[in-house]
Structure 1
Amino acid sequence: MKKGIDYLTRGIEVILVLLLASMAVMVFANVVMRYGFNSGLAISEEMSRFFFVWLTFIGAVVTFKENGHLGVETLVRMFGRRGRMICMALTNALIIMCAVILFWGTWLQQPINASVIAPVSRMPMIYVFGVTYFAAVGIGIIAAVRLFRVLTNTVSEAELRQFAGEYDDDSQLVGRSE
């Protein structure tokens, strides 16, 4: 199971790299064409903005999986194991609620986004903002798994230290996979 999740994460990271590289190529090509040839690619500006939206939401899922988002570590560090478990459970329950709200909001906004067409690419905007479905489901699943692990008391000490922002001897976050 862990190996499959690692492969999926790597695949998503490859998508992120491709999105970022595509953005860089499109913007660079547009700059060269504007300054060198007094022309440009109108679609490159629009697509780079769309890619940035996708990059942000897809990257949020990967960052959440790796515990890279900001937390109130100063407070959590003051607690022992039980307090950290309670904080972790509350945090993940709140994150699940936020993911549900994000999914629901995207669902309600979908008819509007499907009817709005991008000016240059003529692409329905649901293809741009529909990535929030992926973000809501991805973050929700990760938070649900973490909440389940807290409730079944299968969270390791290393994970609790990582949740509290504690560092090991090598100044790396405990449990962070590279």
Structure 2
Amino acid sequence: MLIDKKAPWYDKIEIAMIIVIFSILTVILFVNVVTRFCFHYTATWSEQAARYLFVWMTFAGVSLAGKTSSHLQVTVANMVFGEERAKTVFLIGDVIVVLFGCLLTYKIFGVMMRVMSTGQVFPAMTWLPSWTLYLSGVLGMAGFTLRVIQRRYRTAVAAKCKEA
């Protein structure tokens, strides 16, 4: 279950973001379709806003995947290596994922800073700086990395409690 009522507030951030962004995205696209076919009018900003919101929603989902262990992993390891060795394989995989997440966070942050230094804005939404699109990547990948670490830590604590 994705929403645990007893979970702390920070465990619900991604789901709340996805719900809010998806709702706004749906309204924008619905209104755009209605105005296009009924009034022969399309807001110039609506498609760009939809793309922008979709990217933010996707990176919120990336962070959520790290928390729920829904990210790409080879589950055949249980069959090939056996359950005990598969735990080691998954641990190695999570270490690689954390390192890769750190690298991507750093690289996307660098791109964001370059875009920020140019002062670019979106053509149809001139009030919105372009670097905010890259901020979703920085937050999403950093969140993903932290969520994988958080999940591993919680699993280790639960295993210790089970042993005691």
- Using the size of structure 1 for normalisation, the TM-score is 0.75
1:91 counterpart residue number: 93
TM superposition shift of 1:133: 1.6
Q: Is the 8 A contact 2:22 2:57 kept in 1?
A: yes
Match of 1:126 in 2: 131
Instruction: Please state how far the C-alpha of 1:74 moved relative to its aligned partner.
Output: 1.4
Distance 1:34 1:148 in 2: 51
Ranked by relative contact order (alpha carbons within 8 Å, sequence separation 6 or more), the top structure is 2
Name which of 27, 30, 33 aligns with 1:31: 33
Return the alpha-carbon distance in structure 1 between the equivalents of residues 133 and 144 of structure 2: 18
Question: Cα 1:129–1:137, aligned 2, differ >3 Å: closer, same or farther?
Answer: same
Shift in Å, 1:95: 0.7
CA distance in 2, matches of 1:42, 1:6: 40
Distance across 2 between alignment mates of 1:78 and 1:31: 50
Equivalent runs, 1:24-103 vs 2, <5 Å: 24-103=26-105
Output the CA distance in 1 between the equivalents of 2:114 and 2:142.
21
Please tell me the residue identity of whatever aligns with 2:138: Y
Q: RMSD of the TM alignment (CA)?
A: 2.3
Compared CA separation, residues 61 and 121, structure 1 to 2 (3 A): same
Task: Give the SS at the match of 1:119.
Answer: coil
TM-score using structure 2 length: 0.80
**Equivalent residue number for residue 159 of structure 1:** none
Structure 1 position 108, deviation (Å):
1.5
Distance 2:152 2:23 in 1: 35
Aligned-partner Cα distance in 1 for 2:46–2:111: 26
Residue 56 of structure 1, CA deviation: 0.3
> Post-superposition shift, 1:77?
3.1
Q: How many corresponding residue pairs?
A: 153
The structural deviation recorded for 1:20 is 0.8
Partner amino acid for 1:117? V
Structure 1 residues without counterparts, runs of 5 or longer? 157-178
SS in 2 for 1:25: helix
Quick one: percent identity of the two aligned structures? 19
Partner of 1:138: 143
